[in-house]
């Protein structure tokens, strides 16, 4: 399993040691959640109506979102705009890349760029 990203604030690539892929069928459509953490850093992708390969937007104009926190909710950022590209979505594996600009709620200028993101996770339902 792999789930990696780089932020512009720290300019380091993080590889998450703990991963969770949680597909579910909600009454309004499928939701795929990819969640990872390493120490006090957390990153998540919540993809609504995504159950196949393709390019998807994440941010305030969509139901799908990305989020990032670098110190256990003290600095929590939510995607303003970005994308996820799912290159493989099977019964056993979900693989893709992502990038988004996230903003700290209640602020206009406190942002973080999450880029060079990738995930390659075995599915278990």
pLDDT tens readout for residues 5-24:
555 554 344 454 444 555 55
Q: What is the mean pLDDT of residues 29-56?
A: 83
21 neighbors 34 (Cβ within 8 angstroms) = yes
pTM to 2 decimals? 0.77
pLDDT tens digits along 57-75:
999 888 899 998 877 556 8
> Domain limits of the chain?
2-122
């Amino acid at each position: 399993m792999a789930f990696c990203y780089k932020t512009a604030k720290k300019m380091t690539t993080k590889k998450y040691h703990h991963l969770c892929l949680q597909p579910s069928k909600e009454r309004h459509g499928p939701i795929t959640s990819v969640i990872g953490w390493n120490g006090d850093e957390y990153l998540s992708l919540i993809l609504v109506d995504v159950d196949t390969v393709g390019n998807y937007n994440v941010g305030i104009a969509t139901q799908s979102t990305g989020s990032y926190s670098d110190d256990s909710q003290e600095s929590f950022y939510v995607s303003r705009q970005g994308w996820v590209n799912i290159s493989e979505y099977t019964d056993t594996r979900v693989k893709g890349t992502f990038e988004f600009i996230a903003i700290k709620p209640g602020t206009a200028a406190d942002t973080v760029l999450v880029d060079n993101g990738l995930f390659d996770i075995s599915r278990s339902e």
